[in-house]
């Protein structure tokens, strides 16, 4: 399904959920897709903006992603820009986006960036237990890309025990209070 912003941009339905959640009317600058990024870079290459140089993921694609993030803040005069990187950590499609947000921390300073990793802790009904390994592995993968989450939001069917939060904090190298439970709603 499609969500249409006030300025006529056709976006993913998730943007409509975000708009309602934060109670702000979002616009065309609030939605960035891989297709838009690559299209813009190809248009710039055809116009000669890269002076005949080889177009590369780094720096051309990552710079375009960063510019879209910065423009979103400029065009809306925002104090804070929340950027969701969809997909699964490690998928090739998300790598340029992850590299771009890693670079943003260097560009604007570590005190101006917070990484929040939303992850699933599956509950295995047959075993009657929750598994933290998928979360540990996704954080390990993020860290291998140069991104250390400040906060981990764990989606789960069941309550997360303090022991499990402590375990995640230890293995993911974050404060225990930075492990936040987001239990499924009925």
Q: What is the mean pLDDT of residues 103-119?
A: 97
Per the structure, how many domains does the chain have?
2
In order of 83, 88, 155, 158, the CA distances from 121 in angstroms are: 22, 14, 6, 9
Q: Which pLDDT score, from 0 to 100, does residue 1 have? A: 85
Its domain, for residue 160, covers 114-186
What pTM did the predictor assign?
A: 0.91
Residues 103 and 41 reside in one and the same domain: yes
Residues 63 and 95 reside in one and the same domain: yes
| Two structure tokens written together for 65 | 């992603």
Decide: 5 and 11 in contact? Cβ < 8 Å. yes
At which of 113, 135, 152 does a domain end?
Answer: 113
pLDDT grade for 90, boundaries at 50, 70 and 90: confident
pLDDT grade for 11, boundaries at 50, 70 and 90: very high
Please check whether residue 6 lies inside any domain of the structure. Answer: no
Q: What are phi and psi of 156, to 5 degrees?
A: -160, 155
pLDDT grade for 185, boundaries at 50, 70 and 90: confident
Buried (b) or exposed (e) across 110-145, using 16+ Cβ within 10 A?
eeebeeebebebbeeeeeeebebeebbebbeebeee
């Amino acid at each position: 399904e499609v969500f249409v912003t006030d300025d006529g941009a056709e976006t993913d339905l998730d943007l409509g959920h975000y708009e309602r959640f934060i109670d702000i009317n979002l616009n065309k600058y609030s939605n960035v897709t891989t297709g838009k990024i690559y299209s813009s870079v190809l248009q710039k290459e055809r116009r000669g903006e890269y002076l005949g140089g080889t177009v590369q993921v780094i720096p051309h694609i990552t710079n375009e992603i960063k510019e879209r993030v910065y423009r979103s803040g400029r065009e809306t005069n925002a104090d804070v820009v929340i950027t969701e990187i969809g997909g699964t950590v490690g998928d090739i499609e998300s790598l340029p986006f992850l590299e771009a947000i890693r670079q943003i921390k260097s560009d604007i300073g570590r005190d101006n960036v917070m990484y929040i990793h939303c992850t699933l802790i599956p509950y295995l009904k047959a075993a009657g237990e929750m598994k933290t390994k998928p979360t540990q592995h996704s954080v390990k993968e993020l860290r291998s890309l140069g991104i250390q989450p400040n906060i981990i939001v764990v989606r789960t069917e069941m309550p997360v025990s303090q022991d499990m939060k402590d375990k995640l904090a230890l293995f993911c190298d974050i404060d225990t209070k930075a492990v936040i439970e987001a239990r499924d709603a009925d």
